[in-house]
């Protein structure tokens, strides 16, 4: 079967920095608490009027440059986001318009922090079956638009950003070796936005409570499931690729919390030097987190040609997934 390989990566983080010290002035928290519990020092916040698709356009420019492809070469755009520009049309359509990818189909994926991994799996399937050749995946979020900056349990965690990857049919032994996706909708209440959808429309029956349109989370519960499922998903893709954890050169996990990342690495028996983290700078950027981390890892020379990379993510839904890639 034809494998899909990543031939270009791009990343964008908005200019404005929201530091832990800034948050100390907004809610009852401290830099020490946030850093020791999460590993986060600062996160980026998009400007007013800077939409999710705008951030994607910036990431796309970098991905085109590194891939050597042009927008007109793209057959399919997948946009993973829970913070779309509009409810209709899709964010992938907005990106298509802005980057002028006139020959592409588009689709959005709503799988929260696991969205980019879902994109990898979809791209792999389409490329393997020859339906599409060049696929562009975006993981992008303007989480500041759904964050309650009066809730110290959540507002210290999240940030904005966008990452892009261009995949094409591999002509060598590199590419995606295995992927795994799973969800558990029974755990929907652990991480959710109660209002604004058909269940509780904003404005209907006098419901104008903006807080209902902001993210709520049971942090402790999410933490436990994250550790369990990220470990299990990782083991599964490693096995499906015919490998053992020792073979993996670098773990590039979803940047949710340094303690979740360390627990996942421990379950795999992977030493810290084989784990990539940039959570300190960006916080949890949901679907943008994995491509931002992959991009940084390549830029820093932590991923080289031929390396075996494991990526794993977990998020609201609940959803989770993992992929093993030979670079």
Instruction: Please list the active-site residues.
Output: 113, 254, 284
| Distance in Å, CB of 256 to ligand COA, minimum | 3
Nearer to ligand COA, 82 or 99 (CB): 82
Q: Which is nearer to ligand COA, 132 or 314 (CB)?
A: 314
Angle subtended at Cα 293 by Cα 309 and Cα 304, rounded to the nearest 5 degrees: 40
40 or 248: CB nearest ligand COA: 40
Cβ closer to ligand COA: 48 or 220?
A: 220
Q: How far is the CB of 134 from ligand COA (least distance, A)?
A: 30
Query: Where along the sequence are the contacts to ligand COA (CB under 6 A)?
Result: 29, 33-34, 37-38, 113, 152-153, 156, 191, 217, 219-220, 222-223, 226, 256-257, 284, 314-315
- Closer to ligand COA by Cβ: residue 4 or 112: 112
User: Minimal distance in Å, beta carbon 37 to ligand COA?
Assistant: 5
Q: Is 181 within 8 Å of 165 (Cβ atoms)?
A: no
Strand (E) or helix (H) holding 34: helix 31-38
Query: CB-based contacts of 130: which residues, under 8 Å, 6+ apart?
Result: 2
Q: CA-CA distance, 137 to 117, in Å (whole number)?
A: 10
Please name which of 307, 308, 281, 305 lies closest in space to residue 293, comparing C-alpha atoms: 281
Q: State how far the Cα of 110 lies from the Cα of 72, in Å rounded to an integer.
A: 25
Q: Is the peptide bond before 66 cis (omega within 30 degrees of 0)?
A: no
In the numeric block, which tokens belong to residue 167? 């995949």
Rounded least distance, CB 288 to ligand COA, Å: 12
CA 110, 112, 118, 119 dihedral sign is: positive
Residue 113's nearest CA partner among 279, 253, 309 is: 253
* CA angle 46–50–53, rounded 5-degree value: 105
Beta carbon of residue 222, minimum distance to ligand COA (angstroms, whole number): 4
Residue 249 CB-density burial (10 A; 0-12 exposed, 13-18 middle, 19+ buried): middle
């Amino acid at each position: 079967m034809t494998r899909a390989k990543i031939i270009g990566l791009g990343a964008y983080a908005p200019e404005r920095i929201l530091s832990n010290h800034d948050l100390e002035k907004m809610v009852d928290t401290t830099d020490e608490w946030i850093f020791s519990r999460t590993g986060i020092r600062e996160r980026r916040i998009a400007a007013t009027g800077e939409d999710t698709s705008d951030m994607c356009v910036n990431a796309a420019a970098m991905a085109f440059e590194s891939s050597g492809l042009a927008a007109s070469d793209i057959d399919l755009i997948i946009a993973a986001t829970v913070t779309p520009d509009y409810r209709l049309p899709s964010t992938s359509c907005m990106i298509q318009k802005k980057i002028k990818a006139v020959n592409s189909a588009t689709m959005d994926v709503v799988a929260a922090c696991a969205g980019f991994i879902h994109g990898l799996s979809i791209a792999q399937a389409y490329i393997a079956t020859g339906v599409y050749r060049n696929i562009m995946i975006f993981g992008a979020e303007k989480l500041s638009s759904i964050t309650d900056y009066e809730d110290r349990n959540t507002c210290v965690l999240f940030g904005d950003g966008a990452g892009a990857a261009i995949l094409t049919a591999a002509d060598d032994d590199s590419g995606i070796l295995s992927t795994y996706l799973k969800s558990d909708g029974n755990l929907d209440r652990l991480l959710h936005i109660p209002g604004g959808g058909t269940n509780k429309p904003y404005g209907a029956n006098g419901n104008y409570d903006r807080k209902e349109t902001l993210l709520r989370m049971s942090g402790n519960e999410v933490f436990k499931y994250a550790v369990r499922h990220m470990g299990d998903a990782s083991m599964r893709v490693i096995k499906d690729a015919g490998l053992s954890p020792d073979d993996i050169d670098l773990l590039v996990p979803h940047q949710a919390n340094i303690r979740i990342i360390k627990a996942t690495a421990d379950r795999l028996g992977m030493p810290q030097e084989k784990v990539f983290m940039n959570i300190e700078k960006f916080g949890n950027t949901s679907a943008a987190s994995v491509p931002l981390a992959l991009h940084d890892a390549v830029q820093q020379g932590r991923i080289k040609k031929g390396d075996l990379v494991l990526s794993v993510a977990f998020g609201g839904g609940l959803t989770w997934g993992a992929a093993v890639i030979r670079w």
